[in-house]
Amino acid sequence: MWTAAGPPSAWWVTWDGRQADYWGGASPGSGKCGCGQTGSCRRCYCDINDNRWRSDSGYLTHKNDLPVTQLRFGDTGSGHEQGYHTLGKLICYP
């Protein structure tokens, strides 16, 4: 989802049209997934790029950015890479 240089190839869009640079389980502005936030991976498991299916998951909990209005995925730069995504329901907690 991130390359060594240049813009990310995957991001989501906040309710007010901003490009979000973090994924479920990570903090806004971190540029990471949950595993990168906890130190289990560098940024995201999906960036390991070792020809194995990997998964990044977690909840987006920063209320000022929600709801997600778009998911954006760009070119991976390689003809053999694949990916898929799911976005779960919006769940409101008090």
Predicted model pTM? 0.82
Confidence of residue 67 (pLDDT cuts 50, 70, 90): very high
The residue type at 1? M
Find out whether 50 and 59 touch, Cβ atoms under 8 Å. no
The secondary structure element, H or E, covering residue 36 is helix 34-38
Q: Is the pLDDT of residue 35 over 70?
A: yes
Cis preceding-peptide flag for 28 (omega within 30 of 0): no
